[in-house]
């Protein structure tokens, strides 16, 4: 069930009606039932996959909890000294680790099979000369709930959080319909306590949530779905295009992906706000970032913090990494220790980020591209500071800030050239075609209108991108949602109606037109 469908609108109205009528202490049951219905709409076989995974996660989380409870009990009984306690802790950590590995193997195994099964079988078929095909079921939102579940289990293993005692509540956490399709990748310890304090939505909560949803629908239906027509048209016929059209396509592609993903996040966050469950923020106006690391702290934030907490920190604090860092620092020099500590974990993170986005070589190269940029910017930071001082560059001026912001945006757009075309070969062709000619006349010879968007659509696209940038820019300085909510009723509803009519008039929908799937749904 797409978030952009009449069926979903009906589903939401039914949910809210039942939700309001349900006593507060059972509201989470209503959410669970409706989330199961929502998920079952994607296929009962997929629901079974998720139920199986949730049973494993629940069982193992309880086992991990039991191991550490026993450790506490033994410590209380024996009153061990520091050395003894350390040895005891190691014994129990090993026990906990055994259960953890089992769960990680199941969760990550299913995810890897769903993501890499088809390309792996394709490779085996090519190598053996025999056809190996199998119908792979990909559960809805698989990588999002898998990542959340893995983080939850690791947190229990590290004793950062307690395991949930109720299976239905844990299941609700995994299947909660606003975050199951494309995130945010929630921390269960932040979501679970909220299920115990659910209340009926107030008028203010309803308005604030609906306001955010409306902005999300505007981004998705007016901007993203419009730009996707142009981008898919050009990239679907790379050989026939050349020159600046690819620059425009990549610029449109950047706003398409941003409007699509952040639009979906606004829709689901708005729904969840109405329900009364606060979801983690996934975007913080990334196009205003001044460096590559900052960009990735503001784009798909929950994926970035997941990789930081569960890959970057464990790799950097692992014993082998510690040994490698000390060896490099002692035998080569202090800078080598720093370089090892920067490069090794960041390489792991970016390789995994690349693979998470897709299995083709272009995604691996894209991951390496960002990895190199971020490692270089971290390692060269001191040197860049020294150079700019020597060149008397005013780093606190507005011009420098603008230069940095545009540079970061350009780096993002250049990276898209690797992943928006369907594979590496197409990406290389697109790069070649971009530089094959210089044709600025496309801006006035009307040829831009031959790619699925006519003059009116192009105007709507450009103006709505400008509006998106203006609103994002305002949000950098103030809380726009609160500011609108504080205005008098006439102005406030004028803005809301303008938004509703903008979506109805300029949105891409209607008979014979399927709304585009959300880009990040495929992950």
Partner 1 sequence: MEKKILDILADVNDELLTYTGNNMVDDSIVNSFELISIISELEDTFDIEIDAGEVTEENFGNKDRIIALIKRMTGE
Residues that bind partner 1 (CB under 8 A): 82, 157-160, 293, 297, 308, 312-314, 316-319, 322, 325-326, 337-338, 341-342, 345, 378
Nearer to partner 1, 343 or 413 (CB): 343
Minimum separation from the CB atom of position 477 to partner 1 (A): 17
DSSP H helices, 158-187, are 167-175, 177-180
Nearer to partner 1, 67 or 214 (CB): 67
Minimum separation from the CB atom of position 312 to partner 1 (A): 6
Minimum separation from the CB atom of position 84 to partner 1 (A): 13
Nearer to partner 1, 375 or 468 (CB): 375
CB atoms within 10 A of CB 291: 18
Minimum separation from the CB atom of position 511 to partner 1 (A): 48
Nearer to partner 1, 46 or 325 (CB): 325
Nearer to partner 1, 168 or 314 (CB): 314
CB atoms within 10 A of CB 55: 14
User: Which of 505, 502, 483, 501 shows the shortest CA–CA distance to 492?
Assistant: 483
Distance, CA of 170 to CA of 155 (rounded, Å): 15
Residue 419: DSSP 8-state: H
Nearer to partner 1, 347 or 378 (CB): 378
User: Which of 515, 499, 501 shows the shortest CA–CA distance to 467?
Assistant: 499
Residue with tokens 């974990």: 345
Minimum separation from the CB atom of position 161 to partner 1 (A): 10
Minimum separation from the CB atom of position 266 to partner 1 (A): 22
CB atoms within 10 A of CB 461: 21
Minimum separation from the CB atom of position 20 to partner 1 (A): 35
The DSSP code sequence of 430-475 is HHHHHTS---GGGGTSSGGGGSS--HHHHHHHHHHHHHHHHHHHHH
Nearer to partner 1, 126 or 322 (CB): 322
Distance, CA of 328 to CA of 21 (rounded, Å): 64
Interaxial angle between packed helices 6-21 and 27-40, expressed in degrees from 0 to 180 and rounded to the nearest 10: 160
User: Which of 8, 12, 15, 9 shows the shortest CA–CA distance to 41?
Assistant: 8
Query: Burial of 317 by CB count in 10 Å (0-12 exposed, 13-18 middle, 19+ buried)?
Result: exposed
Distance, CA of 271 to CA of 266 (rounded, Å): 9
Nearer to partner 1, 316 or 429 (CB): 316
Nearer to partner 1, 341 or 418 (CB): 341
Q: Could you tell me if 31 and 275 are in contact, meaning their C-beta atoms sit under 8 angstroms apart?
A: yes
Distance, CA of 487 to CA of 495 (rounded, Å): 10
| Residue 268 three-state SS | helix
List all residues 6 or more positions away from 489 whose beta carbon is below 8 Å from its beta carbon.
none
Distance, CA of 430 to CA of 418 (rounded, Å): 9
Q: Any idea how long the chain is? A: 523
373-382 per-residue burial string, b: 16 or more CB within 10 A, e: under 16: bbbeebbeee
Nearer to partner 1, 243 or 329 (CB): 329
Nearer to partner 1, 31 or 375 (CB): 375
Is cis: bond before 184, omega within 30 of 0?
yes
Minimum separation from the CB atom of position 187 to partner 1 (A): 12
Distance, CA of 472 to CA of 468 (rounded, Å): 6
Nearer to partner 1, 395 or 486 (CB): 395
User: Which of 378, 325, 377, 369 shows the shortest CA–CA distance to 351?
Assistant: 369
Nearer to partner 1, 341 or 419 (CB): 341
Minimum separation from the CB atom of position 322 to partner 1 (A): 7
CB atoms within 10 A of CB 233: 15
């Amino acid at each position: 069930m797409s978030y952009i469908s009449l069926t979903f609108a009906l589903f939401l109205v039914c949910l809210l009606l039942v939700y309001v009528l349900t006593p507060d202490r059972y509201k989470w049951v209503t959410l669970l039932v409706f989330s199961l219905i929502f998920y079952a709409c994607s296929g009962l076989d997929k629901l079974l996959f998720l139920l199986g995974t949730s049973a494993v996660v629940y069982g193992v989380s309880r086992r991990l909890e039991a191991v550490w409870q026993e450790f506490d009990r033994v410590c209380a009984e024996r009153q061990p000294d520091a050395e003894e306690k350390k040895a005891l802790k190691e014994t129990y950590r090993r026990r906990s680790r055994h259960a953890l590995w089992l769960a990680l193997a199941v969760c990550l195994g299913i995810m890897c099979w769903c993501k890499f099964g088809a390309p792996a079988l394709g490779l085996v078929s090519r190598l053996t000369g025999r056809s190996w095909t199998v119908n792979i079921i990909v559960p809805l939102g698989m990588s999002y709930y898998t990542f959340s579940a893995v983080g939850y289990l690791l947190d229990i293993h590290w004793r950062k959080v307690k395991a949930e005692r109720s299976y239905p509540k844990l299941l609700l956490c995994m299947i909660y319909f606003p975050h199951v399709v494309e995130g945010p990748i929630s921390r269960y310890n932040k979501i679970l306590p909220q299920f115990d304090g659910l209340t009926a939505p107030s008028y203010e909560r309803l308005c604030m949530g609906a306001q955010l949803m409306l902005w999300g629908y505007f981004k998705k239906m007016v901007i993203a779905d419009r730009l996707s027509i142009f981008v898919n048209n050009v990239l679907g016929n790379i050989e026939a295009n050349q020159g600046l059209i690819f620059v425009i396509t990549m610029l449109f592609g950047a706003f398409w992906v941003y409007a699509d993903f952040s639009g979906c996040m606004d829709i689901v966050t708005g729904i969840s706000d109405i329900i009364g469950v606060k979801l983690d923020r996934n975007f913080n106006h990334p196009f205003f970032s001044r460096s590559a690391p900052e960009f990735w702290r503001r784009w798909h934030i929950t994926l970035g913090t997941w990789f930081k907490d569960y890959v970057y920190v464990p790799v950097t604090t692992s014993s082998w990494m510690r040994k490698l860092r000390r060896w490099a620092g002692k035998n080569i020099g202090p800078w080598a220790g720093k370089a090892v500590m920067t490069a090794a974990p960041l390489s792991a993170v970016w390789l995994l980020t690349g693979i998470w986005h897709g299995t083709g070589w272009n995604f691996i190269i894209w991951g390496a591209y960002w990895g190199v940029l971020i490692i270089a910017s971290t390692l060269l930071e001191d040197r860049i500071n020294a150079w700019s001082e020597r060149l008397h560059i005013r780093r606190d001026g507005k011009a420098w800030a603008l230069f940095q912001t545009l540079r970061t945006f350009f780096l993002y757009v250049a990276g898209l050239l690797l992943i928006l075309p369907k594979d590496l070969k197409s990406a290389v062709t697109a790069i070649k075609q971009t530089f094959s000619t210089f044709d600025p006349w496309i801006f006035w010879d009307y040829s831009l209108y031959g790619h699925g968007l006519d003059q009116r659509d192009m105007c709507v696209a450009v103006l709505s991108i400008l509006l998106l940038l203006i609103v994002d820019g305002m949000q950098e300085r103030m809380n726009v949602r609160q500011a609108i909510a504080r205005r008098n009723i006439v102005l406030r509803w004028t803005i809301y109606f303008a938004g509703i009519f903008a979506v109805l008039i300029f949105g891409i929908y209607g008979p014979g037109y399927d709304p585009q799937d959300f880009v990040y749904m495929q992950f």
